[in-house]
Chain A
Amino acid sequence: DSGVTQTPKHLITATGQRVTLRCSPRSGDLSVYWYQQSLDQGLQFLIQYYNGEERAKGNILERFSAQQFPDLHSELNLSSLELGDSALYFCASSVGDRVVSYTFGSGTRLTVV
């Protein structure tokens, strides 16, 4: 157990639907990162939050949004889902804003049918 908790582990949903992925960072970590891993694109950075504030944004689609709450857990919202959104979504956390040796959660496997 890495200490980073992601729920749910698996999610199957239909095109056009909206889902929320949840992440609880490791105790003491203030930064949360979201990554998408699909078969053809490898691990791609989506977004980072630090202590409740958005810090960096990657190639995140407008249909996707995220937030970090005062208790530091984070949610990634994916809407108007398309087949191509099927992927593993990882959350990672680190203690600081610029600490790169972060710890990954086990991921949520999203399948859009």
Chain B
Amino acid sequence: EDKVVQSPLSLVVHEGDTVTLNCSYEVTNFRSLLWYKQEKKAPTFLFMLTSSGIEKKSGRLSSILDKKELFSILNITATQTGDSAVYLCAVPTSGSRLTFGEGTQLTVNP
């Protein structure tokens, strides 16, 4: 059975801290891995990773994929209160169906 596991499930940090969120997966026919940020409602797309070892960056957020060890990390540097959200990792498991992890609830305190 295809599986996506995120850790930690919950994280509380202070503004300015750097955080690393983890996502491991077990899927057949791996094609890509996606990260989403979910604040109050709709998940918003952050990154899609297909190649191992190539870092994707967007401002203070970056992500990298390790296809050999079957995991990805999402780094957020110099965190701000606006980074507080649930971060979701997802993998396409059949066609364009996404299997999501449980998410990491990140709280950034001022």
Q: Mark A87-101, 1 if CB is under 8 A from B, else 0.
A: 010100010111111
Q: Which of A56, A88, A90, A104 is B96 in contact with, Cβ under 8 Å?
A: A56
Chain B, Cβ-Cβ closest to A94: B96
Contact B43 A97, beta carbon cutoff 8 Å: no
With A2-B42, A48-B96 as given contacts, are A100 and B103 in contact (CB-CB < 8 Å)?
Answer: no
Chain B, Cβ-Cβ closest to A47: B97
B41 proximal to A (CB < 8 A)? yes
Give bound CA distance, A106 to B32, whole Å.
24
Give bound CA distance, A99 to B45, whole Å.
13
Contact A42 B100, beta carbon cutoff 8 Å: yes
Q: Which of B34, B45, B95, B102 is A98 in contact with, Cβ under 8 Å?
A: B95
A45 proximal to B (CB < 8 A)? yes
Interface of B is mostly: strand
A8 proximal to B (CB < 8 A)? no
Give bound CA distance, A33 to B36, whole Å.
16
Q: Which of B96, B98, B100 is A31 in contact with, Cβ under 8 Å?
A: B96
A43 proximal to B (CB < 8 A)? yes
- How many residues on B have C-beta within 8 angstroms of the other chain's C-beta atoms? 23
Give bound CA distance, A56 to B95, whole Å.
8
Q: Which of B43, B45, B95 is A43 in contact with, Cβ under 8 Å?
A: B43
Q: Which of B48, B97, B101 is A48 in contact with, Cβ under 8 Å?
A: B97
**Cβ < 8 Å to B, chain A residues 10-69:** 31, 33, 42-45, 48, 55-56, 58
Q: Which of A42, A96, A99 is B102 in contact with, Cβ under 8 Å?
A: A42
- Most interface-central of B36, B41, B45, B94 (chain A CB within 10 A): B41
Chain B, Cβ-Cβ closest to A91: B42
B48: A residues at CB distance < 8 A: 100-101
Contact B94 A56, beta carbon cutoff 8 Å: yes
Contact B44 A2, beta carbon cutoff 8 Å: yes
* Chain B interfacial positions (CB closer than 8 Å to A): 31-32, 34, 36, 41-45, 48, 88, 90, 92, 94-103
